[in-house]
Amino acid sequence: MSINTAQSRDTRPQIEVIEGIGANDFPALMAQTPLQFAHLFASLAAAGRDSADTGKNTARWSILLAAPESELRLSGDGVLGGAALKPIAAPAANVPELNISGMSFPNTHFLGAWAQWVAQHPGLASDFSTELPFVGGWSFYLSYELAEHIEPSVHLPHFAPADRVGFPVAMAQYHAAALLFDHQTATTYLVHDGRHPATVAAIKAAILGFSHAPM
């Protein structure tokens, strides 16, 4: 079924099963194709000593996020800004762009700016449902200094900008696609928001060109 993105602001994510690659391959895939992937979320939790499955990873999901399409960042020196990123390719025609640069950011309030960003973004189609934990969305880096933006009465010691080693106070990135591995069923899924075909094509090309590490 095709989706006319020019006529609808609803997002209908797409889900595909991917063969021949699993969670153990995600770190190497990310290393081999760093322009296509941004963040890996993988639990190292294992069953305890009293369990029959001692040493077995007990997490349900591992998630490898595609490179972000856009980003909102509050820098260490208090500058708040955003940009549409083009790490892979330009978006498809008729896909609404996020007007991050046109927003007003009162008092460099990161969470308020992010709320404006979300308000611009298409929502999920009302009849869409899935048990998967991610079908396109945001990742975050939030430092402890962000507490002052949530509760103004909190006054925390501040690092000098030079001591932050380039880390922002907060950052949100939108990821149109990801690879998910279900540890219960040993199944890998490619999920995407249905609006960025160039991103999906780049991920599939990365998978096809992936070289498994020698055993």
Question: What sign results for the dihedral spanned by CA atoms 86, 82, 77, 160?
Answer: negative
SS3 assignment, position 206: helix
Question: Which 3 state secondary structure label does DSSP give 204?
Answer: helix
Distance CA 192, CA 182 (A): 16
- Three state DSSP letters for 36-97: CEEEEEECCCEECCCCCCECCECCCEEEEEECCCEEEEECCCCCEEEEECCCCCCCCCCCCC
Q: What is the pLDDT of residue 139?
A: 96
pLDDT at 159: 64
User: What is the distance between the alpha carbons of residues 181 and 101, in angstroms, rounded to a whole number?
Assistant: 35
Decide if pLDDT at 203 tops 50. Answer: yes
Beta-carbon contacts of 167 under 8 Å, excluding residues fewer than 6 positions away, are 76, 141, 143
Report pLDDT digits (tens) over 134-182. 999 999 999 888 888 788 787 877 666 555 667 888 999 999 999 999 9
d(CA 202, CA 210): 12
Question: Domain map of the chain by residue range?
Answer: 27-42+61-91+136-210
In this prediction the pTM is 0.78
Model confidence pLDDT, tens digit, residues 64-96: 999 999 999 888 777 888 876 544 433 343 333
Residue 21: the pLDDT is 94
Mean pLDDT value of segment 27-42: 95
Specify the 3-state DSSP secondary structure of 179. Answer: strand
> Is it the case that residue 17 has pLDDT exceeding 60?
yes
